[in-house]
Amino acid sequence: MGKEPVTEQFFMDKLTEAKVHFERAVDCKHTEFDDLYPYMIEHPQFFWYKRYVAWSELLTIVSLCEQLSFDWKKQFTPSQVEYLEQRVMSAKVLDFWFENNDSKEHAQRQ
């Protein structure tokens, strides 16, 4: 595996991956985290921790994009941008990340 150049496209790809990871965690879908800590599924706090890890990953990549002046906001809805700028993963973020749970985008993730 060769070294991949660190370009804006590289960061946008990583941002997309982090967004999908977070959205799968919000929907309680399988993520890489489940494979790393399979015993955690038995514990009620697992889903909060899994979401927190995914949220932290997403915030880290957003922060790097900000520092590098990459336009990360175009991959998110205005309300999602607001949540990310506030940086706090609250119940509001989890409840309203998908603005319309009946949307085609959300249904395709099922």
For residue 2, being part of any structural domain is answered with no
| pTM: predicted TM-score of the whole model, two decimal places | 0.80
Nearest to 66 by CA among 90, 93, 84: 84
For residue 92, being part of any structural domain is answered with yes
For residue 62, being part of any structural domain is answered with yes
For residue 1, being part of any structural domain is answered with no
pLDDT band at 107 (very low <50, low <70, confident <90, very high): very low
For residue 3, being part of any structural domain is answered with no
For the chain, how many structural domains are there in total? 1
For residue 73, being part of any structural domain is answered with yes
For residue 97, being part of any structural domain is answered with yes
For residue 104, being part of any structural domain is answered with yes
Q: Torsion angle of alpha carbons 69, 74, 80, 84, nearest 10°?
A: -10
pLDDT tens for 82-106 read: 999 999 999 999 999 998 755 445 4
Containing domain of residue 56, as a range? 8-108
